[in-house]
Chains A and B, each alone.
Chain A
Amino acid sequence: MSKHIVTINKGSLQDTIKFESCSECQTSCQSACKTSCTIGNLVCTEQAKKD
């Protein structure tokens, strides 16, 4: 364990490329009016179901 670095999350986005054809997750919206900005807010439906 490094005494200089704490890694917060370990799964790489590059490993999620395989979900290209899924798109079962919630729609986001980048405008201000619908409270669904920043796509980072979303949860992957399939991952959440597994956990």
Chain B
Amino acid sequence: MDNRVMPMIHKFKQNGMDIVLDVNSGIVHVVDDMTYDVLDYYKGDNREDVLKALDGKYDPAELGEVMDDLDELIGKGMLFAPMDPNYKVAIEDRPIIKALCLNIAHDCNLRCKYCFAGQGGYGKWRMLMSFDVARRAVDFLIAHSGPRQHCEMDFFGGEPLMNWHVVQQTVAYVREQEKKHNKIIKLSLTTNGMYLDEEKVKYLTDNHISLILSLDGRKENHDRMRPGVHGEGTYDRVLKNLQYCVAHRDGEEYYVRGTYTKYNLDFTKDVLDMVDKGFPAVSMEPVVGDLSEPYAIQEEDLPRVKEEYETLAKAFIQREEAGHPFFYFHFNMNLWQGPCLPKRLRGCGAGHEYLAVVPNGDIYPCHQFVGRDGYVIGNVYEGLKNMKMMREFRENHVLNKPECIGCWAKFFCSGGCHANNETYAGDIHKPFHISCEIQKKRIECALMIQAYNQMKQPQVMAQPGLAKQLAREKAEN
């Protein structure tokens, strides 16, 4: 059978639960130990093999009962489901662009040690985007989004609040243009929080701008990795600003995000520290950077990292059970209303659906590729030029990656980050092993938590901002 359509399951034990994921259907089952063991052997048509392999361990009649149940699931396409052999990924002749990262400021007021953006200048330029470039980027997005109603734009940097006036001008322009062109443009802004004062918080909340707020957990970890321009600690100021901000979001979306490194592989403590400081919606992610750096997570750190995710997952459930749930971005997996299969294959859309614009107007496949030689694919003044590269990105989905095709996690990670793959493996088509291993562990934890929540129904925290966003959209439509 073609390995693209081959049925596949993944099973694992965590937190006292035996979990089975049917890869091609995305259906999750929680099973007893006997069923778990049967699935080591049973493929749907080999009962004798199972009875022989498990002879003496389980009662044959009960094994037969389990296989009857499994046959029923197989018959319903809920176990060992094949991929639809007729499914073909549609490759558009003209890419439809629906999201832009606007690098509104190539400068920063922090000197984070792990910064992939060269501490604001991406190793090339320190400059702010003019309103003229930003305006043309908005026009570009609308013109290239075709029939898509929902579009997105993220104010990114460097530090976007260093170019606050242009952010405000651009927001006003977006709101004017989206009405004119019948678009819904979701705006977000990623900030280190240093300049986040009362006036800006009010503006960002009133204008429904989602916020991604950076904080690296405990003070010692934050100050070590995120110093100011003179090497000074920034934690106290950032904490105060973020606490004010989150307390005044009025139901709008935000996440407080941190980065963990080799220095804090006990990052559960950082997550809980942020929650306890007043941030119930958090994310903590592995550092991405040069493997020769002392803070880099290495292959030998993986067992420790995986163990820590289990610790975090347990802590997450304990807080739910205690009636104090929090929202952890990577455990938020929607098994019921999650993305469709085509979206899972499209992935982030970098290079064809999602692009980044820099202050001089150049367009890159995404924010991670900014400043890398050979990756300018156009300019907001001249339009798209490198259509060949855009097509290469579009075709770079998991079903076309030999190392991903046999992986159970392929419909949850979409083959990883193209930019990381290029950095570490020298090729956007080759996944980076360390990222894959972390990703897979995180997905297992998320699946376990979703199964646990479904079965035990503890108090959970809803995704921040989602209810308000949906209500707004319903009202607008």
Contact = CB atoms under 8 A, between A and B. Distances in A.
Interface of A: 2-14, 16-17, 19-45, 47-49, 51
5 contacts: A4-B35, A14-B81, A14-B84, A41-B332, A43-B339
Contact of B336 (A9, A21, A42, A45): A9
A38 B32 contact: no
Given A12-B78, A32-B285, A35-B329, A23 B417 contact: no
Contact of B30 (A6, A13, A28, A39): A6
Contacts of A31: 288, 348, 366-368, 417, 419-420
A12 B473 CA distance: 27
Contacts of B442: 37-38
A25 B149 CA distance: 10
Nearest to A50: B337
Q: What is the size category of the interface that chain B forms with chain A?
A: 35 or more
A49 B285 contact: no
Which of B66, B73, B341 has its CB near the most chain A CB atoms (within 10 A)?
B341
A41 B354 contact: no
A30 B443 contact: no
Contacts of A32: 259, 285-288, 417
Given A6-B455, A35-B257, A51-B337, A12 B27 contact: yes
B474 to A, nearest CB: 7
B150 A40 contact: no
Contact of A34 (B212, B463, B470): B212
Interface string B319-353: 00000000001101111111111111011111001
B116 interface: yes
B84 A7 contact: no
Interface in B31-70: 31-32, 34-35, 65-66, 69-70
Given A5-B73, A31-B288, A35-B257, A20 B90 contact: yes
B205 interface: no
Interface in B219-247: none
Q: Which 7 pairs show the lowest CB-CB distances between chains A and B?
A: A16-B340, A30-B417, A12-B25, A19-B340, A27-B99, A32-B285, A9-B335
Interface in B113-147: 116
Given A40-B334, A48-B337, A8 B28 contact: yes
Contacts of B335: 8-9
B268 interface: no
A4 B341 contact: no
B81 A12 contact: yes
Nearest to A8: B28
A39 B344 contact: yes
Contact of A2 (B69, B99, B333, B470): B69
Contacts of A22: 340, 342-343
